[in-house]
Amino acid sequence: MRIHVLGGFLGSGKTTILMKLASSYAREGRKVSIIVNEAGDIGVDGATIKGDGFNTTELPDGCICCSLTVSLQEAIVNIVDQLHPDVIIIEPTGLAIPSRIVEAIDGIKDLDKEMDIIGVVDAHRFGIFADKKPTFITEQIRGSDLILMNKIDVATPEQQESVRRWIADNIGRSDIIGVSAKTGDGMEEALEAIRND
């Protein structure tokens, strides 16, 4: 079973990308289950995703990278027992550290899985976040197996270049895929990279 953890800061485009990824699997007849963690009390993302017909588990009232690790483990065990999905896609809150989620999932005994972290950054607003919270942003992105720079439709080439430079300087990564989940630009390459990662 494949598990993708789709991390990234608030509003970076995680849910939009998740829907495209889930749809690409579904088109091939692969069974997808989704876990959404929303800190606020209105489950907007959960409702959106369910609206598209995907099996969705919502974990509200806490963070699956810290206070809700046991709930996350239980949710995965239940999903696997009951639905036997080919793929589980997990969207944590924008404040989660994805590598901690991977650690929590690694703690589930006898789970046969291949797991990876996809880090999503917002090309348009990255500079603001990186200036304000460089340590957090570094920690959040660092463990990614793949980094997507989303919203290239609204980011200038200079903004995109500065995101790439910041990530290269602070995280030592230059293998970043620019995408627009909105227009679909770069998404084919990104989905292929995610699935073959």
Ligand X SMILES: Nc1nc2c(ncn2[C@@H]2O[C@H](COP(=O)(O)OP(=O)(O)OP(=O)(O)O)[C@@H](O)[C@H]2O)c(=O)[nH]1
Give the residues lining the site for Mg ion (CB under 5 A): 14-15, 45
Among 33, 56, 144, 180, binds ligand X (CB under 6 A): 180
Residue 192 CA to residue 177 CA, distance in Å, equals 11
Residue found by looking up tokens 């793929």 in the block: 87
CB count within 10 Å of CB 25 equals 20
CB count within 10 Å of CB 160 equals 18
Q: Is 37 in the site for ligand X (CB under 6 A)?
A: no
Among 15, 37, 71, 160, binds ligand X (CB under 6 A): 15
Nearer to Mg ion, 15 or 69 (CB): 15
Q: Is 151 in the site for ligand X (CB under 6 A)?
A: yes
Q: Is 153 in the site for ligand X (CB under 6 A)?
A: yes
Work out the widest C-alpha separation in the chain, in whole angstroms: 48
58 interface partner picked from ligand X, Mg ion, none, CB below 5 to 8 A per type: none
Among 16, 56, 57, 69, binds ligand X (CB under 6 A): 16
Angle at the Cα of 162 (from 159 to 167), degrees rounded to 5?
130
Q: Is 150 in the site for ligand X (CB under 6 A)?
A: yes
Shortest approach of ligand X to residue 25 CB, angstroms?
18
Cβ-proximal residues to 51 (8 Å cutoff; 6+ apart), any chain: none
CB 153 within 8 A of CB 185: yes
Nearer to ligand X, 12 or 71 (CB): 12
> Which residues of this protein are in contact with ligand X, per CB under 6 A?
8, 10-16, 45, 94, 150-151, 153-154, 180-182
